């Protein structure tokens, strides 16, 4: 019987495990992928927006070579943190089912069964991409994650989207000699695109170096072609790869199966106590990005690290009252 079962081994899940250790509460951290699986799936050359000090957890300094750390440095850092705190990690174990009993939860995974007095869900949002729901989206040439530009050298690629990830992918593959076309639902490049990048992509489009179809969307994908609908009508484009940078969403299916309730808003925000992060189900908590529902730009590592302290303090207070 563990005091706390933590679902998600990202930075916030690790922070929850560290706070549990500090307060002599037993814990287990379960993740269907590797340690910090979302960061692992970031582009290989990705650099964080935040400085390294804002990504620190567990009082372990994060020293990076530049002002802002990259993916490789972050993976190294969180491995070091997990090892230093001797966190109880169960990686590559998917949570299949949770069952609430009177005094504890039973968590069934693809490998084990765990009994926990409390559960913290810190699953982030990067594991489930928004699908375009078009014919041919399941073809191998369609990617919802981007790693590096080399495979797209001299290839006809379509980048779907107009936010930061899509813009970064379009610019990087263009500079590695891919023939890049952007297909964008909106009328312009996203307003939240990094201010030092936005003029670059707009100038590349203006100069015709990167083609862009605004107010457009893909209607069908075939092995060597893609159909799109534009304000001027249907067009068929030669195509080798589709990089669908359409964004990601929390694992709502898991939350719903656990009985978590949601506000009736556009973002499907989970209902929880903002001071303790406890949901409407006693002893079931949420932490990190998942607290924002579809508003995935509300919570980040730097402003949700505090969730771990709030949750563990509440669990400790309840435990002390009972004892």
- Token pair, residue 235, equals 């067009």
The verdict on 101 and 36 lying in the same domain is yes
Tokens 């964080």 appear where? 48
Give the contacts of 299 (CB within 8 A, at least 6 positions apart).
288, 289, 291, 292
The verdict on 118 and 256 lying in the same domain is yes
Give the contacts of 232 (CB within 8 A, at least 6 positions apart).
none
The verdict on 223 and 253 lying in the same domain is no
The verdict on 121 and 165 lying in the same domain is no
Q: Total structural domains in the chain? A: 2
The verdict on 211 and 235 lying in the same domain is yes
DSSP code of 269? P
The verdict on 121 and 267 lying in the same domain is yes
- Burial annotation 106-145 (CB, 10 A radius, 16+ → b, else e): ebebeeeebebbbbbbbbbbbbbbeebebebeeeebbbbe
The verdict on 91 and 184 lying in the same domain is no
Question: Residue 256 belongs to a domain with what CATH number?
Answer: 3.50.50.60
**Structure pTM?**
0.90
Asked if residue 74 lies in contact with residue 81, where contact means CB atoms within 8 angstroms, the answer is: no
pLDDT of 323 reads 63
pLDDT in tens, the chain (323 residues): 999 999 999 999 999 999 999 999 999 999 999 999 999 999 998 889 889 999 999 999 999 998 899 999 999 999 999 999 999 999 999 999 999 998 999 999 999 999 999 999 999 888 789 999 999 999 999 999 999 999 999 999 999 999 999 999 999 999 999 999 999 999 999 998 988 899 999 999 999 999 999 999 999 999 999 999 999 999 999 999 999 999 999 999 999 999 999 999 999 999 999 999 999 999 999 999 999 999 988 899 999 999 999 999 999 988 887 76
The verdict on 13 and 110 lying in the same domain is yes
Which of 244, 268, 294 marks a domain boundary?
244
The verdict on 86 and 22 lying in the same domain is yes
Chain centroid to CA 276: 23
Q: Which of 246, 248, 303, 298 is nearest to 269 (CA)?
A: 298
pLDDT of 207 reads 96
Which of 223, 244, 265 marks a domain boundary?
244
The verdict on 20 and 98 lying in the same domain is yes
pLDDT of 86 reads 97
Which of 244, 272, 295 marks a domain boundary?
244
The verdict on 282 and 147 lying in the same domain is no
The verdict on 123 and 138 lying in the same domain is no
Residue-range definition of the domain harbouring residue 285: 2-128+248-322
CA distance linking residue 261 with residue 180, whole number of Å: 42
């Amino acid at each position: 019987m563990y005091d706390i079962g933590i679902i998600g081994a990202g930075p916030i899940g690790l922070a929850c495990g560290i706070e549990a250790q500090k307060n002599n509460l037993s814990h287990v951290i379960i993740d269907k992928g590797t340690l910090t699986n979302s960061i692992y799936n970031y582009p290989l050359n990705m650099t964080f927006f935040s400085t390294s000090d804002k990504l620190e957890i567990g009082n372990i300094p994060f020293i990076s070579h530049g002002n802002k750390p990259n993916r490789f440095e972050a993976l190294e850092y969180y491995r070091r943190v997990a090892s230093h705190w001797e966190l109880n990690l169960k990686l590559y174990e998917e949570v299949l089912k949770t069952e609430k009993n009177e005094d504890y939860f039973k968590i069934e995974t693809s490998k084990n069964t765990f009994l926990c007095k409390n559960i913290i869900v810190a699953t982030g949002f990067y594991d489930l991409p928004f699908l375009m729901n078009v014919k041919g989206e399941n073809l191998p040439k369609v990617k919802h994650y981007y790693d590096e530009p080399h495979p797209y050298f001299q290839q006809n690629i379509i980048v779907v989207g107009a936010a930061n990830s899509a813009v970064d992918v379009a610019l990087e593959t263009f500079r590695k000699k891919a023939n890049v076309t952007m297909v964008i639902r909106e009328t312009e490049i996203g307003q939240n695109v990094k201010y030092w990048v936005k003029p670059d992509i707009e100038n590349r489009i203006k100069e015709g170096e990167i083609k862009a179809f605004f107010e457009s969307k893909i209607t069908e994908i075939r092995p060597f072609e893609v159909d799109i609908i534009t304000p001027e009508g249907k067009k068929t484009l030669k195509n080798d790869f589709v990089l669908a940078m359409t964004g990601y969403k929390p694992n709502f299916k898991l939350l719903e199966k656990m009985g978590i309730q949601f506000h009736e808003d556009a973002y499907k925000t989970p209902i929880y106590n903002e001071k303790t992060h406890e949901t409407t189900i006693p002893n079931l908590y949420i932490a990190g990005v998942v607290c924002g529902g579809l508003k995935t730009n509300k919570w980040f590592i730097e402003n949700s690290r505090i969730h771990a302290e709030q949750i563990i303090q509440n669990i400790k207070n309840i435990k002390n009252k009972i004892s």
